[in-house]
A and B are shown apart, each in its own frame.
Chain A
Amino acid sequence: MKLMYFAWVREKIGINQETVSPPETVKTISELITWLESRGPEYRAAFENRESIRAAINQTHVDHHSTLEAAAEVAFFPPVTGG
């Protein structure tokens, strides 16, 4: 699974993308965040305020309850501020 990070999520984690293989018990965006937090302080810092984290699966907006089946690319980012 390819993970991508943008804006301050990217800055806090320190990389813009990575490929991971979470255990099969990780089935939702929320569970993926919890698993990522177990990987180090930089992830805990990035996801500290969970309500402000937005996610996309395969480049489509999703909420934290969404399941990861068929997720080839998952992205985490702050609320968007374009325009």
Chain B
Amino acid sequence: MTAPRINRVQSNPFNITEEITALRGERKDIGAIVTFTGTVRDTAAGEKITTMALEHYPGMTEQELEHITNEAHSRWPLQGSTIIHRIGDLSPGDDIVLVITLSAHRAAAFEAAEFLMDFLKSKAPFWKKETGESGNADWVDARDTDTEALTRWQK
């Protein structure tokens, strides 16, 4: 049986509990469920943020998420994985991204969730633009630490 792989890009909010239920189905051999949620911070470079707009490259995003997911499933004995990434205009406190990993034991679930997030942040074609209280809108700069995070996964 192939472990379910759910990848989605959507503007609507997600419900973590519902997503876990949808992913695990009727399976009773799952011992570990790890979830990661990324959310919108209310400040950037000392300024209050009012809006975060998320843009992506339809088509390429789905391909990249599929590559990343397949790689994670080939490295760890996962019983399922979910990646949901939101697009459009978000507000401080809103959820941006959800990763869920299922495995018989926690180590694989933790590691795979980190792996998925590290690769998503460096490879999936999403871009954030923050608007501050002053009305200034700036594209978020990529962080070197996100690129460096990939090196630990090199085989």
Contacts and interface: CB of A to CB of B under 8 A. Distances in A.
Interface of A: 4, 6-8, 56, 59-61, 75, 77-83
28 contacts: A7-B139, A56-B57, A56-B60, A56-B125, A59-B59, A59-B63, A60-B60, A60-B63, A61-B123, A75-B60, A75-B125, A78-B127, A78-B139, A79-B141, A79-B142, A80-B122, A80-B126, A80-B142, A81-B121, A81-B126, A81-B140, A81-B141, A82-B54, A82-B97, A82-B128, A83-B117, A83-B121, A83-B124
| Across the A-B interface, the 5 shortest Cβ-Cβ residue pairs | A82-B126, A79-B142, A59-B60, A7-B127, A83-B121
Given A81-B140, A82-B97, A82-B126, 14 more contacts: A4-B57, A7-B55, A7-B127, A56-B57, A56-B125, A61-B123, A75-B57, A78-B127, A79-B142, A80-B123, A80-B124, A80-B125, A82-B56, A83-B146
B70 to A, nearest CB: 14
Nearest to A54: B125
Interface residues of B, number: 27
Please report whether the interface of chain B is mostly helix, strand, loop or mixed according to DSSP. Answer: mixed
Given A82-B97, A83-B117, A83-B120, A77 B63 contact: no
B148 to A, nearest CB: 13
B142 A81 contact: yes
Contacts of A83: 38, 85, 96-97, 117, 120-121, 124, 126, 146
Contacts of B96: 82-83
B133 to A, nearest CB: 21
A8 B59 CA distance: 20
Contacts of A81: 121, 126-128, 139-142
Interface in B90-148: 96-97, 117, 120-129, 139-142, 146
A60 B66 CA distance: 12
Interface string B21-33: 0000000000000
